[in-house]
Amino acid sequence: MQATKDTLSLIGNTPLVRLKGPSAESGCEIFAKCEFANPGASVKDRAALYIVEDAEERGQIAPGGTIVEGTAGNTGIGLALVANAKGYKTIIVMPETQSREKMDTLRALGAELVLVPAAPYSNPGHFVHTSRRIAEETPNAIWANQFDNIANRKAHIAGTAEEIWEQMEGRIDGFTCAAGTGGTIAGVGLGLKGKDEKITIALSDPHGAALYSYYACGELKSEGSSVAEGIGQGRITANLEGAPIDTQFRISDEEGMEWVRRLLAEEGLCLGLSSGINVAGAVALGKELGPGKRIATILCDTGFRYLSTLYNREWLETKGLSVPEWMAR
Ligand code: PMP
């Protein structure tokens, strides 16, 4: 492999891995994009780079400028490293409920971190609205606006979808993942449908999100809750508009955690809960499409970002999630 020309060229072109357990369980061939292999260790590096370069092309940001964003953490990490590589500053607004590791990583990258209480989207104190206000009040700043800035999904149309198509050698029957901003599902969905209309695009929605009911019956309605970070959307963001969703699954945290544990114990992958939910969704899609089908999904980030939560016995107990036998010892 040749040397890349700079750090930002390390974003994207992630490996695709065949998952043994999920393939055996579903009778299908299940493949997953290793987005933890991005320099910021998540799928959001892709959107961060696209959003910043789109703003540069539009002349919205100049050297020394500031990028402001509201994020569950991973987009902030992606933006901070893109900003460092390009000479910008970052101000990141994050709900205080996100993992300690994400906060430490953002501070280590030099971002200015603003923590706000978790609040519904309708509340003006919600992290998204707070970040917009800070961007308006800060000189030479842009608001990345990942939820409604479609540069986000363009990263997945041009990057993730193309890569999946090539890595699967054009033999793919279905794709599924969960939605935070919706950039990944909409972008990969649009990109793959552009290659072959027959590819089934499925949303894997956690509890507490409203998209499952929206795509099932046209009504934004949520039920229950989830501890998964970075996913679970209550509205149709600009990135989700026109997303070609054919079918949808509602996946519980326990189902997602079951796959997080199995992938760790059986395949040596240390992942976060959104990855577990995506894999549970891929198994469900495989069972729906039938034996032998080829399905792709996303491993969104690394489990090392959740050592104090998903991989911590006390935390699991406080959240009422089951503690694996090896952790209880
Ligand atoms: N998983 C994790 C851990 C994330 O941080 C995000 C981004 N919010 C997602 C999944 C969802 O990606 P998207 O925003 O593209 O829907």
User: Would you state the structure tokens that stand for residue 181, as one six-digit string?
Assistant: 């901003």
55: Cβ below 6 Å to ligand 1? no
Kindly state the greatest CA–CA separation across the chain: 57
3-state percent helix, strand, coil for the chain, nearest multiple of 5: 45, 15, 40
* CB neighbourhood size of 175 (10 A): 30
CA of 149 to the centre of ligand 1 (A): 15
Total-model pTM: 0.97
**Which of 20, 33, 44, 287 is flagged as catalytic?**
44
User: Would you state the structure tokens that stand for residue 114, as one six-digit string?
Assistant: 């603003």
Name the helix (H) or strand (E) containing 174.
strand 174-177
* Residues 207, 173: Cα–Cα separation, whole Å: 26
Q: Do 7-37+158-319 and 43-148 agree at the fold level?
A: yes
Measuring from atom 6 of ligand 1, which residue has the nearest CA? 230
Residue ranges of domains in the chain: 7-37+158-319, 43-148
Which residue positions in the chain have pLDDT lower than 50?
Answer: none
CA of 3 to the centre of ligand 1 (A): 29
182: Cβ below 6 Å to ligand 1? yes
229: Cβ below 6 Å to ligand 1? yes
- pLDDT reported for residue 327: 81
State whether residue 31 is helix, strand or coil.
Answer: strand
44: Cβ below 6 Å to ligand 1? yes
* Residues 118, 5: Cα–Cα separation, whole Å: 40
- pLDDT reported for residue 173: 98
Strands 200-206 and 112-116: unpaired
145: Cβ below 6 Å to ligand 1? no
CA of 230 to the centre of ligand 1 (A): 5
Q: Would you call 154 a catalytic residue per the annotation?
A: no
**Of 33, 99, 160, 231, which is best to mutate to test ligand 1, by the most ligand atoms within 8 angstroms of its C-beta?**
231
**Of 34, 43, 277, 299, which is best to mutate to test ligand 1, by the most ligand atoms within 8 angstroms of its C-beta?**
43
* Residues 200, 58: Cα–Cα separation, whole Å: 35
CA of 42 to the centre of ligand 1 (A): 8
Q: Is 3.40.50.1100 the CATH number for 7-37+158-319?
A: yes
Regarding the domain delimited by 43-148, which CATH topology (the fold level of the hierarchy) does it fall under?
A: Rossmann fold (3.40.50)
- pLDDT reported for residue 192: 99
Candidates 147, 156, 150; CA nearest to 181 is: 147
CA of 47 to the centre of ligand 1 (A): 10
- Which amino acid, 305? R
State whether residue 68 is helix, strand or coil.
Answer: strand
- pLDDT reported for residue 86: 97
Q: DSSP class of residue 72?
A: S
Candidates 13, 33, 28; CA nearest to 295 is: 28
Task: Please compute Rg for the chain using Cα positions.
Answer: 19
What ipTM goes with this model? 0.99
With beta carbons less than 8 A apart as the criterion, state whether 142 and 134 touch: no
78: Cβ below 6 Å to ligand 1? no
184: Cβ below 6 Å to ligand 1? yes
